Amino acid sequence: MADATNPRPRSRDDLDVQPVPQWLHRAAGWSWRGLVIGAAVLAVLAVLTRLSVVVLPLIIALILATLCVPPATWLRDRGLPKSVAAAIVVVGGLAVIVGVLAAIAPSFADQITDLRPTVDAGIDRALQELDVLGYDRERLTELLQQAREQIASSSSSIISGLVGGLAVALSGLAGVALLVVLLFFFVKDGDQITDWFLARTPPHRRELTAAVGRRAWSALSGYVRGTAAIAAIDATAIGIGLAIIGVPLVLPLALLVFLGAFLPVIGALLAGLVAVLVALASGGLATGLFTLGLIVAVQQVEGNVLQPLIMRRAVALHPIVVLTALAVGATLAGIVGAFLSLPVAAVTAAVGNELRLRAEDASSSGDPQASTTA
């Protein structure tokens, strides 16, 4: 047996063994951890997809609750019972929506049927104007046709996913009834639901859980209400401007602008393009340019004034995050997933920021437990 003063000589096999580089060791560790996390995320998404009939009404009800809780709280502060206040807000809101839809449905249906041929006429008019400027119209028409064929061939799965997501969201009265019931209880018993979850959280984690929950709710409510306000302002301003310019189909175009606000970057671009094409087809180049100027002016006011003023409580998302979230949401749950992806991304970013700030505070204070108990 070799002692400490006379160690065993290293054999040839020992000399042939090379230590694993530190960078490779770290990369391997991060790789298998990433694989485990990715597998867990895929498993959760698979379960949520299978339970989409329940999950989607739950998420939509939670998002709508951010709009319903403030007026219900205002009614409770005036002495109304919680159940009565929640019923007035939820049922009254549904009645208002149904009444508005019933009032505008006839004229909207008449105008929406004219939207597609008018857009096609706008494309033809744009090609004519480019032909006047010296561009080869036949070549442009060929490129446009190739683009249409490419989009049609590459987006067939996306379109089927959108239709499938919409079908899931509207899969009968049971889903709608579940959404309304969940919304009512979220508005009525939101505080009790929060207390129930906190009571089942370990004592040393309750303050962190409560802080993360408040941050998530603030981000969600700020994003949803802010986006809805901006969408309403944009749709109203552009609708009034289109009516003044003399562009037809004002109602469907204003609705398209309103819905497009919930799909940042892509929605504004598509809504503006359709409005310009309709204006170009109905009134010529001058009307199209006036409409383009109107949309650009409204978008500038939105980006430089409305967004900083209204969206202060929400989390600002980078366009790359927005586009990625939209693509993932549309792939997983169709058009409903595209609309829901951004609120989910905003909440995720807010929770991440809260945890990061607490970790930084814990690091600066030298207390490793501060991030979990502070």
3-state SS string for the chain? CCCCCCCCCCCHHHHHCCCCCHHHHHHHHHHHHHHHHHHHHHHHHHHHHHCHHHHHHHHHHHHHHHHHHHHHHHHHHCCCCHHHHHHHHHHHHHHHHHHHHHHHHHHHHHHHCCHHHHHHHHHHHHHHHHHHCCCCHHHHHHHHHHHHHHHHHHCHHHHHHHHHHHHHHCCCHHHHHHHHHHHHHHHHHHHHHHHHHHHCCCHHHHHHHHHHHHHHHHHHHHHHHHHHHHHHHHHHHHHHHHHHHCCCCHHHHHHHHHHHCCCCCHHHHHHHHHHHHHHHHHHHHHHHHHHHHHHHHHHHHHHHHHHHHHHHHCCCCCHHHHHHHHHHHHHHHHHHHHHHHHHHHHHHHHHHHHHHHHHHHHHHHCCCCHHHHC
pLDDT of 88 reads 92
User: Taking Cα atoms as reference points, which of 344, 354, 350, 341 lies closest to residue 314?
Assistant: 350
Alpha-carbon distance values, 315 to 53, 111, 302, 358 (Å): 28, 37, 16, 17
C-beta atoms surrounding 22 within 10 Å: 8
45 part of a folded domain: no
73 part of a folded domain: yes
11 part of a folded domain: no
Distance CA 169, CA 289 (A): 39
15 part of a folded domain: no
Distance CA 166, CA 157 (A): 14
31 part of a folded domain: no
pLDDT of 24 reads 82
Question: Domain limits at 225?
Answer: 51-373
Burial (CB count <10 Å: 0-12, 13-18, 19+), residue 124: middle
pLDDT of 374 reads 45
Total domains in the chain come to 1
pLDDT of 84 reads 92
pLDDT of 158 reads 43
Question: What tokens does 32 get?
Answer: 């298998």
What residues in the chain have per-residue pLDDT under 70? Answer: 1-18, 104-173, 265, 311-316, 365-374
162 part of a folded domain: yes
252 part of a folded domain: yes
User: Taking Cα atoms as reference points, which of 122, 87, 362 lies closest to residue 249?
Assistant: 122
Beta carbons of 291 and 276 less than 8 angstroms apart: yes
Alpha-carbon distance values, 226 to 232, 262, 286, 300, 357 (Å): 10, 10, 34, 17, 24
Distance CA 128, CA 201 (A): 67
20 part of a folded domain: no
318: phi > 0 → left, psi -120 to 50 → alpha, else beta; which? beta
